[in-house]
Chain A
């Protein structure tokens, strides 16, 4: 590599989920692209990411990744091809091999790593895309891949990321066509340290014993001939976890957990063992709340919500028992908040819902006991709160969740005892007739709702048994369809929706023991276009981080400050402001 062989054109952070120091950072580098060809590199990286973004487990773990693109214009196009005598001047000296190794495409790993150290010091994986229509690649600590490999380029990248991020061993076997080069027949070595291959032959002391069904025999499938194994189709259902002989590039003596996996054939999904190993490795790079300030508050602020007033986050806090109300402006440095309005209202309000109506901050107030409802305008920087509409609804609506659907401001309301559901648009002059009236199961205790390009995603949680459902709210709120039915730990006391660097996140927190779980919601919508090579777009709700705090935090109220996600946590005597790093 030398300056004469190419020049750095630009470094871009193309997937930005916050601080590089807290994320796993993938770096794509251009090699063998002259300046005029760089748009092809950019397009190829975009295609790879579009596929990764919707592929298990990266679709769930996406918020834990940052992606960087380094555009380098080489002096000449392509890579050296010694078998044809082609020699070109490129930045990282890409070269194909010879003989049996003619598909081995190598770059100067040392130069790549040093270059990454300079431009993205936090790099976790360096992926060099070589501008050659010849088929080739290689990987060690640097992944090199030619633009000409057949099939999906993302498949190769994801296989290699399994090595780099987890790390996972190969699960393919010792096929070789090299003259004078014997296949890897039988492994006689020590138990591999990697999570996805083993020499162990019984399912009890196995690394993945928890995934093996009682009816699955160990070994599940053995190789018939260690030198020339007969290819056989799987006699088991897809997803059967057991002990399948042939892994780690050896035909015999090493076992994998499933018949097929992305670490065996790049066009397959990761098996369950590889999926969870990757998830475990990447989940440490998930969202991480950090305490920025801690202030004493009086007790009894049982209802806290956040609303933006004049471009700044404000907290609206209410004591249902005494009627005390306070609106506080959050300081720009998050060291606390300063009261702009304090008053005493009537007692018994069960919902105070912040809404932006006609570009102005408003509050919708509702008493579940009497059905009394009103909409208040907040003016003068939050100092004045004035009722602009009052009415009486039926009793029992709790909770009430604000949303945005098709540019309108509807509220989602639910009655926990009867299961009644209502979606109705709110205006400063009152509410329109409901667009959805229905009856769901009873007992749902918490809801979270995110606006999506096609409608909204609604998560419902039942604290009594941990049931959790994802529904799509379509057609401006007129239709709802259930997409995911699953469960989490019971007993959560807070369900917090976050829009975190553009990603919908769900936080389930249990105040008794301080445990918190962050899930990422990936919902491509009902009519999403499939990227090339992807056969399905699977909605998912998966864990990306878990934390354990002290107990007693009764509420977590999210807000945005200077573009960063925050929340205020309150435990009855202390209010803490966290930035969600």
Chain B
């Protein structure tokens, strides 16, 4: 509409591996796509569990954040055979997986990406802490 130029979205997609203990950055790719929108105010004041990606400036202030599903393979959900169409949780066969985060590439001042979350080895909902922080330009 008036006032809004054509959008040429730019984003980074970061691909990570998780082996049950540690998360490692594998690669970064540039992609022309809308990154998920910012999730609003970062949780503050009370401990929060879960998992999210943050873009931070040089001073560590959060410029953008987005909730993601926790990559930790605490349990695996299996669809039940019965007519309840419910789920069952079972121990994972393998704790190795890969996941990706898509973040906007055009946020002024963004210098680092932080994966923030509960302890990947514990589903008890520990307060989220920095799991991995790396430069936005990496690798």
Contact = CB atoms under 8 A, between A and B. Distances in A.
B125 A192 contact: yes
A102 to B, nearest CB: 9
Given A140-B69, A290-B7, A553 B75 contact: no
Contacts of B98: 109-110, 113, 140-142
Contacts of A571: 2
Interface stretch (A45-53, A182-190, A372-380): A182-190
Contact of B93 (A101, A156, A281): A101
Band of interface residues on B? 35 or more
Contacts of A25: 33
A156 B77 CA distance: 11
Interface in B79-93: 79, 81, 84-93
Contacts of B139: none
Nearest to A552: B2
Contact of B31 (A121, A140, A149): A121
Given A21-B33, A104-B93, A113-B98, A136 B51 contact: no
Contact of B6 (A113, A172, A579): A579
A290 B6 contact: yes
B86 A172 contact: yes
Q: Which of B17, B36, B78, B126 has the most chain A CB within a 10 Å cutoff?
A: B78
Contact of A192 (B49, B78, B81, B84): B49
B49 A266 contact: no
Contacts of A178: 90-91
Nearest to A288: B7
Interface in B44-98: 46-52, 67-69, 71, 73, 75-79, 81, 84-94, 97-98
Given A104-B93, A578-B1, A189 B124 contact: yes
Given A101-B93, A104-B92, A175-B89, A135 B99 contact: no
**Chain B interface mostly helix, strand, loop or mixed?**
loop
Contacts of A22: 7, 9, 34
B16 to A, nearest CB: 9
B15 A190 contact: no
B5 interface: yes
Given A100-B90, A104-B93, A113-B15, A291 B78 contact: no
B93 A291 contact: no
B76 A101 contact: yes
A549 B79 contact: no
Interface string A64-107: 00000000000000000000000000000000011011011010
Given A104-B76, A167-B69, A288-B7, A141 B97 contact: yes
B100 interface: yes
B6 A581 contact: yes
Nearest to A135: B81
Pick the 6 closest A-B CB pairs, nearest first: A189-B125, A193-B50, A97-B93, A141-B99, A267-B85, A290-B6
Interface of A: 20-22, 25, 97-98, 100-101, 103-104, 106, 109-110, 113-114, 117, 121-122, 135-142, 149-151, 155-156, 163-164, 167, 169-170, 172, 174-178, 181, 184, 187-194, 248-249, 264-268, 281, 284-285, 288-292, 294, 516, 547, 549-550, 553, 569, 571, 574, 576, 578-579, 581
Interface of B: 1-9, 13, 15, 17, 26, 29, 31-34, 36-37, 43, 46-52, 67-69, 71, 73, 75-79, 81, 84-94, 97-100, 118, 123-128
12 contacts: A25-B33, A106-B94, A110-B17, A117-B29, A121-B32, A141-B99, A155-B85, A175-B88, A190-B49, A190-B125, A191-B47, A292-B6
